[in-house]
Chain A
Amino acid sequence: MKYLAEFRDGELVQKLLTEIRQTVTRPWAMMEVCGGQTHSIIRNGIDQLLPPEIELIHGPGCPVCVTPLETIDRALAIAAQPNVIFCSFGDMLRVPGSHKDLFTIKSEGGDIRIIYSPLDALKIARENPTREVVFFGIGFETTAPANAQVVFQARRQGVRNFSMLVSHVLVPPAIEALMSSPTNRVQAFLAAGHVCSVMGYWQYEPLAARYHVPIVVTGFEPLDVLSGIHRTIVQLESGRAEVENAYSRAVQRQGNIPAQQILNEVFEVCDRQWRGIGMIPQSGWALNEKYQEFDAATRFHVDDLHTQESALCHSGEVLQGLIKPNQCPAFGKECTPRKPLGATMVSSEGACAAYYNYGRFIALESIPG
């Protein structure tokens, strides 16, 4: 497949690794923001091929992992209602809520449909005019244009039995929160390539300057990831802190303008809770006034939500890069992808699941449970 095989070429991987080894002179810690990159890094063993000076800290960029528990519980309550068809991306179904997950609701008779594209949810709504069709609209900036488009289309086509439970999150405020945390160890960022395909990377320029932190836009294939790491190391070693684009075949500085126009049409920036992390100001998107009627959170009144996280789960520390998944005492024991205690064990982009699926069972040291 064009553009896939080429960017997985083993010989070029070795070349880039050599180049990185020759550049690095002292320890550096960098964070790959995106769970898709965590997945690629662990699957391809990139973390084990790098020189020991380079530590990759896995970031919070997995939407499944950071969707707040309160929103999961709300989704469960809505999905359990008799007249509702609840549509979701597949990996949300196993995410643990306070007491259940969507799979449980489905086995108890809830009409839950796994969809590939948000447009499928709109189609289901048109085909079932007497039912309420609710779409679980989660994601980072990459997914937002798809979710925004479907609400835009629902309004334009007058599909009134459609609504969206929105939990959108944004990368730049998360970087800001990480950098201003007193426990921060991150010295550079690999910015998520596809988030930047949509939003561009001009937003990161003030962050790089303010925190003196290199930010390199990075793709997902082994060569892309290594190229991002290489450029980051070159900057760190020379004391520079700039925004660079190591994924130029898919990202331009200004991003995707038609997508941004729809995002502006449908969404407005809001404060957002991140599961395991807490509230980050101005870090999410919600439907704006014009599209309020499509907001499932207001259409379905769900009160009495008493959220309760697993006492064993350390996913908050994992998401903030404070521990590696295999340092969690429950990892691979009480917690596995089949029976996840935390959302980071669910999606293949969650750091815990990536470590589990690719056999990273041996931790340097475990933290006290």
Chain B
Amino acid sequence: MCLGVPGQIKEIYEESGARMGKVNFGGIVKEVCLEYVPEAQVGDYTIVHVGFAITRLDEQSALETLKMFQDMGVLDEELNPTAEADPGLHDNAR
């Protein structure tokens, strides 16, 4: 029950004095409470847990993280092209 799922905000409105919205989760649209992401705009990505947006997803930061993963090991390979590039699945005896 503790999972948070990322989705994109499609619509923002007010209901019984609370900031609510529609969020699209890969095709499934649900009503979500947006009280905790007052700065979020339509089009932003957010993480939703039990019907509440708990944080805005920072796109810039997501891209930087992915770039960092992509760059991992690149320097090793360039400096040492014979080093094992892909050892395949590690044989784990546990």
Contact = CB atoms under 8 A, between A and B. Distances in A.
B65 A248 contact: yes
Contacts of A61: 2
B70 interface: yes
A194 B54 CA distance: 8
Interface in A123-157: 139-140, 142-143, 145-146, 149, 153, 156-157
Given A256-B54, A256-B55, A249 B62 contact: yes
Contacts of B70: 12, 15
A256 B51 contact: no
Contacts of A145: 36, 52, 54
A17 B91 CA distance: 12
Given A18-B73, A194-B54, A248-B61, A143 B1 contact: yes
A197 B92 contact: no
Interface residues of A, number: 66
A15 B69 contact: yes
Interface residues of B, number: 46
B16 interface: yes
A36 B62 contact: no
A122 B10 CA distance: 24
Nearest to B7: A1
B22 interface: no
Interface stretch (A49-57, A305-313, A328-336): A49-57
A117 B26 contact: no
B79 interface: no
A24 to B, nearest CB: 11
Which of A19, A197, A250 has the most B CB atoms < 10 Å from its CB? A250
Given A49-B89, A119-B33, A157-B16, A259 B54 contact: yes
Interface of B: 1-4, 6, 8, 16-18, 25-26, 30, 33, 35-38, 45, 47, 49-52, 54-55, 57-59, 61-62, 64-66, 69-70, 72-73, 76, 84, 86-87, 89-90, 92-94
17 contacts: A1-B6, A6-B62, A15-B70, A19-B73, A21-B90, A22-B76, A36-B3, A91-B1, A120-B51, A139-B2, A143-B1, A146-B50, A149-B35, A194-B49, A250-B47, A258-B35, A258-B36
